[in-house]
Amino acid sequence: MLLPLTGSVVDKFNKKTIIIYAQLLSIFSLTGYAVIIHFQDFENLIYTYLLLIFLKISDQFLTTAFTSSFINMVIDEHIQKLKSLQQILNALIMILAPILGVILYDSLSLFYLIILEIVLECLTIFIVISINFKFSTPANDEREENSSSKSIYQLFKEGLSFILESKKLVFTLFFSMLTNFMFGAVNVGIPFIQINILHFSNNIYGITEAIFALGMIISGIVLSASKDIQYPLFNSWRMIGVIGALFIMLGILLGIQFEQLYFIIIISLFNLLIGIAITLINVPFTVWLTKEIPSHYQGRVFNILSTGAQLLSPLGILAFSGLFDWYDSFMIFIITGISILFITFIYPVIFKIRLKDNELLNNH
């Protein structure tokens, strides 16, 4: 619902101001929720639903504004390092957040947890204020004429037209939609297998899930110390193929009878390699987009691409939930892996693009 609005607003107005307002929306929403549960207790779920809606709106504006601000916050040579560090922090949060959540939930009531969150949101605003959002002027910094006089709808339509003019961006959109659909096999299948088929204990399950984040940290550290990938689109395409091969290997191994210890090792290794592969796909690719997309289009283009890429994810989760209930898990992973490999090899042919060409608008 916010797709035409978010990116256009980010490109139209000052990004730092948008981030601050987004944080304020979170603070006011949390404050209102804290007041309600303090006086009415936790009786009506409608207030929780409203809180989640407002937090989601805030997060969309904040994420889009930050993503499109990277090009102005560091010089070109440091974008990959910044993106890699961001990926490392996200992975650390994946590991630490559940642990801290349990500790805090056992120690504090919901009301005081919300107060703690409000304090942290306020600290974030002060950090944002201290950041220089105009540190660097990128090579692609072209000012859009009369953007302030254009409507949100006009700006959104221009952003959509920019994507449609580039075969590489259209390829990226459709390719990511289908691969995210296929990743429903991981989102549904890996927990299903560990809990219902292999009967891992809660501790083992927690460890194998943390290993996924560990893979992201390892590859993030490597990328932060490395030079930019020469052909990011080719690299991401190739790594998707690697993921397809990992699916097939996992399916084959799941079809063989092993002791539980070996299955723990297999699942842990799969999660580690998938975590590494995802970071090796996302970081170089987003660095390339950040450098190639004109700065005044980045809010709209990144928002449309990220929203479009996730469109089939819920459908993938729904589809694979049914598949794992009715069919053998090892066959599902093998067939999904073959499908990913087929899509990986056929899509560049369909879209007639050169993966070793970094020009965004080169459609030949």
Dihedral of the alpha carbons of 293, 298, 300, 306, in degrees to the nearest 10: 90
Tell me, what's the pLDDT at 252? 94
pLDDT at residue 143 in the model = 53
Spatial distance between the Cα atoms of 211 and 219, rounded to a whole number of angstroms: 12
CA 203 – CA 245 distance, rounded (Å): 28
Q: Give the span between the Cα atoms of 168 and 179, in whole angstroms.
A: 16
Q: Of 75 and 326, which is predicted with more confidence?
A: 326
* 145 pLDDT above the threshold of 60: no
| Tokens 């009878």 -> residue | 257
Contact 178, 343 (CB under 8 A): yes
Q: Which of 196, 333, 200, 336 is nearest to 254 (CA)?
A: 333
Instruction: Give the per-residue pLDDT at 148.
Output: 61
Residue pair 99/228 in contact (Cβ under 8 Å)? The answer is no
> Position 162: which residue type?
F
Query: What is the structure's pLDDT at 2?
Result: 66
Residue spans per domain, the chain: 164-351
Cβ atoms of 156 and 8 closer than 8 Å: yes
Cα-based angle 119, 121, 123 (whole degrees, multiple of 5): 70
Kindly state the greatest CA–CA separation across the chain: 67
| CA–CA dist 87, 81 (Å, integer) | 10
Amino acid identity, position 59: D
> Which of 147-151, 161-165, 209-213 has the weakest average pLDDT?
147-151
| Digit-coded pLDDT (tens) for 156-183 | 888 889 988 888 898 888 888 888 888 8
- Are 364 and 229 in contact, with CB atoms under 8 Å apart? no
Least confident of 35-44, 142-151, 212-221: 142-151
Q: How large a percentage of the chain has pLDDT more than 90? A: 25
Pinpoint the alpha helices (H) of 13-109. Answer: 15-40, 45-67, 70-73, 79-107
Q: What is the Cα–Cα distance from 191 to 197, expressed in whole angstroms?
A: 10
Q: What is the pLDDT of residue 364?
A: 44
- Three-class secondary structure of residue 292 per DSSP: helix
What is the rounded average pLDDT for all residues in the chain? 86
pLDDT reported for residue 245: 94
Dump pLDDT digits (tens) for 279-313. 999 888 888 888 888 888 888 888 888 888 888 88
How many Å apart are CA 73 and CA 136, to the nearest integer?
A: 6
Distance CA 26, CA 33 (A): 11
Task: Give CATH superfamily name and number for 164-351.
Answer: MFS general substrate transporter like domains (1.20.1250.20)
Mean local confidence (pLDDT), 198-207: 85
Say which range, 42-46, 163-167, 267-271, has the weakest mean pLDDT: 42-46
Q: From CA 33, how far away is CA 50, in angstroms rounded?
A: 9
Supply the pTM of this predicted model: 0.84
pLDDT value at 31 more than 90: yes
Residue 142, pLDDT score: 55
Q: CA end-to-end span of the chain, whole Å?
A: 34
Q: Which residue has the tokens 């932060």?
A: 224
Q: Is the pLDDT of residue 274 over 90?
A: yes
CA distance 353 to 340: 18
Residue 96 reports pLDDT greater than 60? yes
For residues 87-109, give the mean pLDDT.
82
pLDDT at residue 144, as a whole number: 52
- Would you state the pLDDT for residue 14? 87
Q: How are the residues of the chain apportioned to helix, strand and coil, as percentages rounded to the nearest 5?
A: 80, 0, 20
> If you ran DSSP here, which 8-state letter would residue 225 be given?
T
pLDDT at 112: 87
